[in-house]
Amino acid sequence: MFRTALILTGLAFTLSSVGAADLPRTHHKTVKVGDLDIFYREAGPKDAPVVLLLHGFPTSSQMFRNLIPALADNYRVIAPDYPGFGQSSMPTHDKFKYTFDNLADVIEKFTEKLELKEYSLYVQDYGAPIGYRLAVKYPERVSAIVVQNGNAYDEGLDNDFWKPIKAYWKEPSSIDKREGLRGFTKLDATKWQYTHGVKDTELVSPDAWTTDQYLLDRDGNADIQLDLFLSYGSNPLLYPKWQEYFRKYQPPVLIVWGKNDQIFPPAGAEPYKKDLKTLEFHLLDAGHFALETNGDEIAELIRAFLAKHVN
């Protein structure tokens, strides 16, 4: 098969049978979900298999800005922003309950609004608990799953990063415990998530953390994020259900995990092996946002994986 290397914003993506003039264009759209405007990026043929990209904290669909065109020649690629993130509506936390149950409910309604009957999931960080809620509820809709630093097991959540967050889970009414986490919404913490564990930080565009921080600095957004730090405590309670889903339905799963991530270290990737029969497992020399430095490698792994498992 003829293959052409394309350079996209500093990352080399190898695309199948696509010339530079035919590079898929990303469309930036908004759809109404209830009272919310949900922004999303979309590229690729309308009748192609769908790949649904679910982002993490503290970013948005912009984390997929390079991956989308790298997949969109053969797939319909869709990446929404959750409420309170990116370009989607940001109701204040007294007007909208920011929990993972509610975020998953919005994304469920989003997929139905777009009439997505079947899709492959890419889950990273917050995308994992949102995506796995969808998968457990609608297993017939999920063709395959790509996991990039997203937990479904207790392993990996016992390091120092999680200690203050777990302390907040234990004392949710503690103002001190809540305020002690506000630093995670500041620039130093955002930049750290992009640069920690990265062999060559010059590969990471500063536009990424600058964009994220601009949105985090909106009035009221820090409180939204603190609510979600608290709500993250609901996710480990669901891990047994997610693991049962893996064992029962055996979705094809591709692990592309940044092994230098201190938030979701590789200990969280290993347990997937015990429940999944169709599993491709890759630990990458990357950090939390592995797409920033290893996007070309991840795109190639995804393309090969989906070609085998998704019609």
Active site (annotated) includes residue 288: yes
Q: Which is catalytic among the residues 55, 282, 288, 309?
A: 288
Largest Cα–Cα distance of the chain, in whole Å?
60
CA 144 – CA 173 distance, rounded (Å):
39
- The b/e string for 203-240 (b: 16+ C-beta within 10 A; e otherwise) is ebbeebbebbbebbeeeebbbbbbbbbbbbeebbebbe
Query: In a 3-state reduction of DSSP, which class is residue 232?
Result: helix
206-216 helix and 221-231 helix, angle to the nearest 10 degrees: 100
Structure token digits, residue 48: 């192609």
187-195 helix and 206-216 helix, angle to the nearest 10 degrees: 150
CA 100 – CA 308 distance, rounded (Å):
32
Omega within 30 of 0 (cis) for the link into 58:
yes
Radius of gyration of the chain (CA): 18
Q: What is the DSSP string of 95-143?
A: TS---HHHHHHHHHHHHHHTT--SEEEEE-TTHHHHHHHHHHH-GGGEE
Q: Is the CB of residue 132 less than 8 Å from the CB of residue 152?
A: yes
Q: Indicate the residue type of 201.
A: T
For residue 260, which phi and psi values (nearest 5 degrees)?
-100, 10
The closest of 251, 254, 249, 252 to 269, measured between CA atoms, is: 254
In residues, how long is the chain?
311
- Which residues, other chains included, contact 188 with Cβ-Cβ below 8 Å and sequence gap of 6+? none
Give the active site residues. Answer: 288
